[in-house]
Amino acid sequence: MNNKIFAVYDEESIRVYQAFSDKIADEAISNGTYGDSFRLDRMTWIKPSFLWMMYRSGWGTKEGQHRVLAIDIKREGFDYIVKNAVLSSYHEETHKSMQQWKDALEKSEIRCQWDPERDLHGNPKKERTIQLGIKGSVSKRYVGDWITKITEVTRDVSFIRTAIETGRFEEGMLPSEREYGFLL
């Protein structure tokens, strides 16, 4: 696959998005990382695409996803996740066999999905965007080592959603995402 990652990033960190309930979001903002309500034993999905997160969370209106967080994580952590991810579906051109893919998926704590990017209204675009599922020891590293900053962006999301609904949206309201280059 010739997919590209677009994100907000600098030399040290890359921004991903997640949406949660009040309890998880409050703990994360208070602690600067996830607290006891965040379950490390289940798959959690991180998304560098703001518009894909808006599609997934209904612009912060879906139950349990009404608090949107921008999480800056160390690039080395993000790169580790991407480089060690197993595609969540079988692709003949990527895997030697269906069994090899199933074995890799069974052992991996990291999943990768390439989904259609979304426009402002949630409509699919031809470009694809990445979302990454992590669990177990990788989630522990994410929470304990890789998160550098958590910012709640729920008010911004609400402001942009209202601007779209009232016809006052301007392109500059969106985060400035650019093609991501991996650390080597």
Query: Is 58 strand, coil or helix?
Result: coil
46 within 8 A of 19, measured Cβ to Cβ: no
Q: Which residue has the tokens 């599922």?
A: 133
What is the model's pLDDT at position 184?
A: 43
Q: How many CA atoms lie within 13 A of 156 on its CB side?
A: 13
φ, ψ at 57 (rounded to 5°): -95, 0
Is the pLDDT reported for residue 151 higher than 80?
yes
What residue ranges do the domains of the chain occupy? 6-179
Q: How distant, in Å, are the alpha carbons of 57, 61, 138 from that of 85? A: 23, 30, 11
Is the pLDDT reported for residue 118 higher than 80?
yes
**pLDDT tens digits for 8-28?**
999 999 999 999 999 999 999
The mean pLDDT of 55-71, rounded to a whole number, is: 97
**pLDDT tens digits for 92-114?**
777 778 888 888 788 999 999 99
Question: Considering the entire predicted model, what is its pTM?
Answer: 0.93
- Per-residue pLDDT band for 1 (boundaries 50, 70, 90) equals very low
- Per-residue pLDDT band for 2 (boundaries 50, 70, 90) equals low
Give the single-character DSSP code of 143.
I
The mean pLDDT of 144-163, rounded to a whole number, is: 98
Query: Is 19 strand, coil or helix?
Result: strand
Give the single-character DSSP code of 76.
H
What is the model's pLDDT at position 5?
A: 95
DSSP codes, 145-171: IIEEEEEE-HHHHHHHHHHHHTT---G
Question: Helix H segments across the chain?
Answer: 22-31, 50-57, 75-83, 98-107, 136-141, 154-165
Residues 6+ apart with CB under 8 A from 149: 13, 32, 71, 72
